[in-house]
Amino acid sequence: MGSTDADPLHIAMFPWFAFGHISPFIQLSNKLSVDPTIKISFLSAPGNIPRISSSLSSTVQIIPLEIPPVDGLPAGLESTAEMTPLQTELLKKAVDNMKPQIVTLLAHLRPHIIFHDFTHQWLPSISTPLNIKTFIFSVFSAISGAYVMVPARLPSSQIPTVDDLKKPPLGFPSTSVTMLKTYEASDMLYVFKNFGGPSVYDRDVGSKKNCSAIVIKTCLEMEAPYVKFIESQYGKPVLLAGPVVPQPPTGALDHGWADWLGQFPEKSVVFCSFGSETFLKDDQIRELVLGLEMAGPPFLVVLNFPDEEDTVARLNAALPEGFKERVKDKGVVYTGWVQQQHILAHDSVGCFVCHGGLSSITEALISDCQLVLLPQKGDQFLNTRLVSGDLKAGIEVKREDENGYFGKEDLCEAVKAIMEKVDEEPGKTVRENHRKWRDFMRDAAVHEKFLKDFVKEMKRMVLGVDG
């Protein structure tokens, strides 16, 4: 595609229809759109656009897509947040059926690059004839991609066993990740399962094998061994967008939460949240809240459930008898949405117990809250190893190998180690490392360089110009 230095670099963004994927694409779009030499078009389903437009830079063009009908997929469901697991698999089939629509759209738009997700393994085959580069944008950490989503993980067509997945793939770098627990490896079997179409593994690896470049929201300072392993596995450019730190939250914390948190001393409150799509079983909810009660500090726990009906009743049924009365002066357990970034930034919050989702970890690392990690599924296990093992910037709750069970004593021990034992290990080292990574991730000059280098490499690959 002919171009001059004055032409804008036109990028199309095409994330999978899950807000855990859409949000990183939005964050990257916002950072890139600051550059006047870059034009961005953002593709998504109409039902997602109101939420997307409220977060996306006004300079970004939003283009609605039509989701083709698929038997069993109700019309109007356009985000995985509203879907059952079976409907999510049907949505992937609908995405595959979007190929003719995307061909027409790309022929009209003619972007230089389309950033796409793991679900679009067919995109390179339709983009290459149009002279459009395809960059798969991984919204996961490099460590999780290196451990699971590489050709070395599946050297034959046979689906791996739990014992296979407990061990790193052949050639995996020597780091703190040596073995996964049985329950963690069992959870990862999902990505190799066939639900009437390509598996998650086949989609992801197929996308990476056929794309022009792989983009990961990380940096060498944090994940160099895993980035280099991915590069060696695919033999193509791996571009790093940096950690893609979210913008500071706008507006103020809700008065109710601000007043409640404001009654406690600085750095004394434990905030616990598992996001909107990670759920604990009732027996583990009981151990969690009893562990927080046993630890002693005041706490705010946010828990959600797979469906939105009677969530308050379900929460009350899961809590131990007499618990609410015992902790009424220092503990709150809540179901629903909260302003997580605002709460993490509050002076009274000193510890964050979370599921190890990459966005939550990033928000915690840029705050003054110490991290206690209780991963529940997929990439969360490996994100946790990165933070607690390689970076030594958080503490993981001890769990049983077979089923991942944790008791109230395990949760209490982790919280106390980070909150109370100021001069004892491992808490002391973790706090020092957290401070180091917080300063690194808050450094505007560092992020400016990440972005500048990233844009320069894209323009070199696509336009044949430097900068």
Tell me, what CATH number does 262's domain have?
3.40.50.2000
Rounded average pLDDT over 304-314: 77
Is residue 35 part of the annotated active site? The answer reads no
Q: How far is CA 237 from CA 120, 221, 228, 290, in A?
A: 19, 18, 10, 49
**CA–CA separation, 302 and 209 (whole Å):** 40
Tell me the torsion sign for CA atoms 239, 243, 249, 253.
positive
Is residue 21 part of the annotated active site? The answer reads yes
**CA–CA separation, 430 and 435 (whole Å):** 9
- 331 part of a folded domain: yes
Together in a domain, 433 and 449: no
**CA–CA separation, 436 and 401 (whole Å):** 32
Instruction: Give the pLDDT score at 310.
Output: 74
**CA–CA separation, 87 and 75 (whole Å):** 11
- 370 part of a folded domain: yes
Choosing from 21, 116, 342, 346, which is the catalytic residue? 21
* Cα angle value 148/153/155 (rounded, 5°): 160
Instruction: Give the pLDDT score at 125.
Output: 96
- 337 part of a folded domain: yes
> Who's near 35: CB < 8 A, 6+ residues apart?
451, 455
**CA–CA separation, 293 and 283 (whole Å):** 16
The angle that helices 408-419 and 282-295 make with each other, rounded to 10 degrees, is: 40
- 82 part of a folded domain: yes
Together in a domain, 174 and 290: no
**CA–CA separation, 428 and 420 (whole Å):** 10
**CA–CA separation, 375 and 355 (whole Å):** 4
Instruction: Give the pLDDT score at 378.
Output: 92
Rounded average pLDDT over 11-29: 93
State the average pLDDT for the chain. 92
Kindly tell me if the per-residue pLDDT of 114 is higher than 60: yes
Rounded average pLDDT over 135-156: 94
Kindly tell me if the per-residue pLDDT of 334 is higher than 70: yes
Rounded average pLDDT over 424-440: 88
Instruction: Give the pLDDT score at 60.
Output: 95
Together in a domain, 215 and 288: no
Q: List the structure tokens of 322.
A: 């007499």
Domain containing 388 equals: 255-442
**CA–CA separation, 262 and 116 (whole Å):** 43
b/e 187-198 (16+ beta carbons within 10 angstroms → b) = bbeebbeeeeeb
Together in a domain, 261 and 142: no
Q: How far is CA 30 from CA 43, 114, 135, 239, 451, in A?
A: 14, 16, 17, 18, 11
Together in a domain, 310 and 451: no
Instruction: Give the pLDDT score at 246.
Output: 80
Higher local confidence (pLDDT), 307 or 330: 330
- 1 part of a folded domain: no
**CA–CA separation, 370 and 272 (whole Å):** 12
Together in a domain, 133 and 47: yes
- 467 part of a folded domain: no
Together in a domain, 279 and 210: no
Antiparallel, parallel or unpaired: β 394-396 and 331-334: unpaired
Together in a domain, 216 and 231: yes
- 144 part of a folded domain: yes
Together in a domain, 229 and 139: yes
**CA–CA separation, 186 and 182 (whole Å):** 6
Instruction: Give the pLDDT score at 4.
Output: 46
Kindly tell me if the per-residue pLDDT of 6 is higher than 70: no
**CA–CA separation, 377 and 389 (whole Å):** 18
Task: Name the one residue in this structure whose structure tokens are 């590489």.
Answer: 150
Q: List the structure tokens of 227.
A: 């980035």
**CA–CA separation, 2 and 130 (whole Å):** 13
Instruction: Give the pLDDT score at 299.
Output: 97
Instruction: Give the pLDDT score at 467.
Output: 56
Together in a domain, 359 and 228: no
Q: Given pLDDT bands bounded at 50, 70 and 90, which one contains residue 13?
A: very high
Total count of domains within the chain: 2
Choosing from 112, 117, 120, 187, which is the catalytic residue? 117
Instruction: Give the pLDDT score at 308.
Output: 62
- φ/ψ of 223, rounded to 5, equals -140, 35
Antiparallel, parallel or unpaired: β 269-273 and 133-138: unpaired
Burial class (CB in 10 A: 0-12, 13-18, 19+), 308: exposed
Q: Each residue of 160-214: pLDDT tens digit?
A: 999 999 999 999 999 999 999 999 999 999 999 988 889 999 999 999 999 999 9
Together in a domain, 239 and 284: no
Reference 294, options 162, 419, 110, 170; nearest CA is 419
Reference 87, options 280, 305, 307; nearest CA is 307
Together in a domain, 200 and 280: no
Rounded average pLDDT over 40-69: 93
Q: Each residue of 82-93: pLDDT tens digit?
A: 788 889 999 999
Rounded average pLDDT over 203-228: 96
Q: How far is CA 405 from CA 182, 281, 306, in A?
A: 12, 10, 20
- 67 part of a folded domain: yes
